[in-house]
Structure 1
Amino acid sequence: MSETESEKNARHNARMAKIKVARDRMMETKTGEKGLIIVHTGPGKGKSSSGFGMIMRCVGHGMPCAVVQFIKGNWESGERNVLKTRFADLCTVHTMGEGFTWETQDRARDVAAAMAAWEKAKELIRDPAIHMVLLDEINIALRYDYIPLDDVIAFLRDEKPPMTHVVLTGRNAKPELIEIADLVSEVQAVKHPFKQGIKAQKGVEY
């Protein structure tokens, strides 16, 4: 005999009640708080977007935050526009890069720009008033050895204030960085319009 809608609902409610009890019991054990080291990496699209989403959450809660862009140059981007024009009192944005290395074709200049960005990042992270710092595309700078990996690891491990969140984005995150991180997300590439000949578009890529 087929199950009636009322029986389906009763079975569903009983199952959800059991799940809620187990979930509540688990949540009772999660009481700690700390400033997290968060890594968004992988070949897929959305790593910086996710980092900026976290920044917007901080802004929504009235928490001061900051962004340091290691690679991207001064071309227009929607997230930078909205932060600078509407939320400058809560979030400062520092675009320190000059574009991707194949655009600058000047390693010495790239290294100097990345090192300046890292010095700015350390200054912001040390500031006790700042709740979160997004280091956008720092993994690219680390991949090309523009900044010393050992310095980044040591600073995050030993000098980052206990309650400050630091978000690091970019593909090819170093294993040493993944090791010290509290949260690591890898974005996979399943499909991308670029392979269909579609260029980067406003509101999607920037």
Structure 2
Amino acid sequence: MQDDTDRHREKMAKIKAARGRMMADKTAEKGLIIVHTGKGKGKSSSGFGMILRAIGWGMPCAVVQFIKGAWDTGERRALEGPLAGLCQIHVMGEGFTWDTQDKDRDTAAAQAAWDKAKELIRDPSVQMVLLDEINIALRYGYLDAGDVVEFLLDEKPPMTHVVLTGRNAPDLLIEAADLVTEMTEIKHPFKSQGVKAQRGVEF
């Protein structure tokens, strides 16, 4: 047993030393462009988790929701209730495109959301901005991906973090981003068991 303990201690000491060497030259800081995409669940949840983390560190932050509109969500309740004043939330969408069935209306709503997003990103007092489901607006052509990427690269303040969520992120955005995570669906109760989206889990 003692031999196992000693071997474990030696192994952990080597890992710690290797980790220290790896981190020694990782001293840069910058505002990141972060993309959460893919067919799996958890893209918005991860984005809101980052917002909660930023709130914990006292970082002013903001959320612009591009699609979900009038949905009554736990995230919105939290940011307008117990966390009110700690993070701005702007619900700009009118629902999914199959709900509205009006491209002109959806395009106008997405453009208004993007105008608000640009205002918040330009604001030097806001340190993190979540653009929830913006990738859906890009996918359907409500916004031009080139315009969005150009703005992020040219006008985002150097220390501002911007998180963009939604499936089917365009290649142009993925290429420009600093951090990209693809959510992969392995199993989903809606498909396997006919379980609908549940409060507190998915909204």
State the TM-score, normalized to the length of structure 1: 0.97
1:44-63 mapped onto 2 (5 Å cutoff) = 44-63=40-59
Unpaired stretches in structure 2, ≥5 consecutive residues: none
Question: What does residue 20 of structure 1 align with?
Answer: 16
User: 1:169 aligned to 165, 172, 177, which one?
Assistant: 165
Question: What does residue 154 of structure 1 align with?
Answer: 150
What per-residue deviation string (whole Å, max 9, x for no partner) do you get for residues 68-105 of structure 1? Answer: 00000112111111111122222010010011000101
Percent of counterpart pairs with the same letter?
70
Partners of 1:158 and 1:136 lie apart in 2 by 21
Question: What does residue 101 of structure 1 align with?
Answer: 97
C-alpha RMSD over aligned residues = 0.6
Question: What does residue 137 of structure 1 align with?
Answer: 133
Counterpart of 1:179 in structure 2: which amino acid?
E
Superposed displacement of residue 165, structure 1: 0.1
Unpaired stretches in structure 1, ≥5 consecutive residues: none
| SS class of match (1:130) | coil
Superposed displacement of residue 188, structure 1: 0.1
Question: What does residue 204 of structure 1 align with?
Answer: 201
Which has the higher Rg, Structure 1 or Structure 2?
Answer: 1
1:75-94 mapped onto 2 (5 Å cutoff) = 75-94=71-90
Counterpart of 2:10 in structure 1: which amino acid?
A
State the TM-score, normalized to the length of structure 2: 0.98
In the alignment of these two chains, the number of paired residues is: 202
Partners of 2:145 and 2:73 lie apart in 1 by 28
